[in-house]
Amino acid sequence: MMTPRQRVMAVLNLKIPDKVPFADWIDPGIRKTLAAYFGNKNMDDAQFHKHLGADAICYMESDYLAPQFCKKLIDEKGVEHLQSEGLIKAQQDMGKFILPDVTAPGYFDKAKQYMDQYGDSGLAIFGSMRTGMMNTIFSMGLVEFSIALFENIGFIEEMLDQYIEWNIRVAEGLTGAGFDFLVCYDDIAFNTGPIIPLPIFRDVFLPRMKKFASTLKLPWVYHSCGNVGRAFDDIMEFGMNCFNPFQPDVNDIFEYKEKYGDKICIWGNIDIGYTLTRGTVEETIDEVKEKIARLAPGGGYMMATSNSITDYCKVENILAMMETKEKCGTYPIKIDES
């Protein structure tokens, strides 16, 4: 039997584990609901993930996610939502563009304390960060960003360069804190296709994102929602170990497994658009079985939802997903269709 950490690291390195691992970000509301279901609403992160049957913990701390300089809305639950209006609309606004000083003493103490607490849990621990592309879009605002793509690309380059350098330093700090791998959350596509015209992406964004990627010392994952198909060969130039989550309504994860499965770990993608949120337990079981049967053979597959375990997922479907993975995900993979 592998430990959960060994299982995750095996698939990130395209190896065959003892059973299919599971890892995902879990929204706070559903986490509380599930913890209460497990009998202890105050359980710590390691206890919770072990009860759930997950193999890894996602560590997400705002200090290590590059700030986005845009208007924000706080809803009635106290949750912050980014708005489309940026605060850095033109180069004369760059005086407001002040990133935190990651060289300040103790800046990575939170990350180190988290690893001190959970590093011996047997679970894989992954740190969350960004590359800087979405930060740039939000900070400028989508309208101003779109205009600048054609009228003032130097403004975009100036901001993106600063984000890239800042995130390189953050990655170094998280690596030093002892995380097992990193996940960079940076959506590159709408449901209709890439956010940025590919010629501009290849000329401006790709070299800078590759610069960031070239400095990473840990295994790492690139996360993007949306229809990534036309940009995926470009994304592959980042050199990541894994891609997540293959949004199922606009990407066929089985095609990606066939084409890229010998190069990267495939991580995803039980559907939160329907199955886990509006489907039945039986439909959840059927989808999990299909994903395991078609993606797990040969290794290099890690199960997750198609984005995250959201507050609006059905508890019974989450439990069915995890129970089915445990039942059907042991190697050699053999799915009982009865």
Dump pLDDT digits (tens) for 99-118.
999 999 999 999 999 999 99
- What does pLDDT average to over the chain? 96
Give CA–CA dist 246/227, Å, rounded. Answer: 8
> What's the pLDDT score for residue 83?
67
251 pLDDT above the threshold of 90: yes
> 81 has which bridge partners?
73
Tokens of 171: 């990655």
Tokens of 117: 């607490």
269 pLDDT above the threshold of 80: yes
pLDDT tier at 281 (50, 70, 90 boundaries)? Answer: very high
Amino acid at 330: T
Model confidence over 40-83: pLDDT tens digits?
999 999 999 999 999 999 999 999 999 999 887 777 777 777 66
What is the model's pTM?
A: 0.95
- Sorted by where each starts, the structural domains of the chain and their CATH numbers stand as 4-328 (3.20.20.210)
pLDDT tier at 215 (50, 70, 90 boundaries)? Answer: very high
Residues 87-95, mean pLDDT to the nearest whole number: 95
Cβ-proximal residues to 89 (8 Å cutoff; 6+ apart), any chain? 140, 141, 144
Model confidence over 2-15: pLDDT tens digits?
999 999 999 999 99
147: helix, strand or coil: helix
> What's the pLDDT score for residue 163?
98
Which pairs from 95-98 meet CB under 8 Å and 24+ separation? 96/69, 97/69, 97/139, 97/159, 97/162
Tokens of 77: 């639950």
> What's the pLDDT score for residue 86?
93
> What's the pLDDT score for residue 231?
98
| Percent of the chain scoring above 70 in pLDDT | 98
267: helix, strand or coil: strand
Give CA–CA dist 222/272, Å, rounded. Answer: 19
